Amino acid sequence: MEIKVIDTFKESEQVWIGLEEEVLRRKVFRSVNEAQVGAKKIVAGMAIFEPGERCAPHHHPDSEEFNFIVKGSGIVIDGTNNKETRFKLHDFIFIPEGVEHVHYNDGNEPLLLLFAYAPPGELPSR
C-alpha cells in the first residue's frame, strides 16, 4: 500500500443523489473507499448541497459518521432525538451509528460538507 492523493472533482466516484426530487438533490464525490483506493475501514468524500437542498432522512445502522464543513452553513436534523442544530464553516458534526439525520443547506451559498463513515457504510439512496 502507498499514500494516494485524489483529485476530488476529477478522480472521485461521482454520485448524484435525489435527482428526481428537486429539494433532495446533492452532488456526492466519494473519494475514499475500497474501490477507489483500497480502504477497508473507512468511506469518505465530499457532498455539495446548493441553497435549499437537503438529504432525505436516513441513518447508517452500523457506522459512525463525522462531517466537516468546508464551505457554507446549515442545519443538521437529528430525527431520532427530534432535535435541530445549526452548523457553520469549519464545524465538525458527529453522528452516532443508527441515528436518523438530515443535512439541510438553508443558506445563500453552496454547502461543501466532508463526510466519513467507519466502518464503511452505504450512501443513502435519496
Which domain covers residue 85, as residue numbers?
A: 12-61+70-118
Residue 93 lies in a domain: yes
Is position 49 within any domain?
A: yes
- The pTM of the full predicted model, rounded to 2 decimals, is 0.88
**CA gap 25, 61 in Å, rounded:** 23
pLDDT at 123: 61
Does residue 44 lie in a domain region?
yes
* Residue ranges of the chain whose pLDDT lies below 70: 18-24, 121-126
CATH number at residue 27: 2.60.120.10
Residue 100 is assigned to a structural domain of this protein: yes
The whole-number pLDDT of residue 46 equals 96
Number of domains observed in the structure of the chain:
1
Q: Could you tell me if residue 4 is inside a domain?
A: no
Nearest Cα to Cα of residue 64 among 119, 125, 113, 126: 119
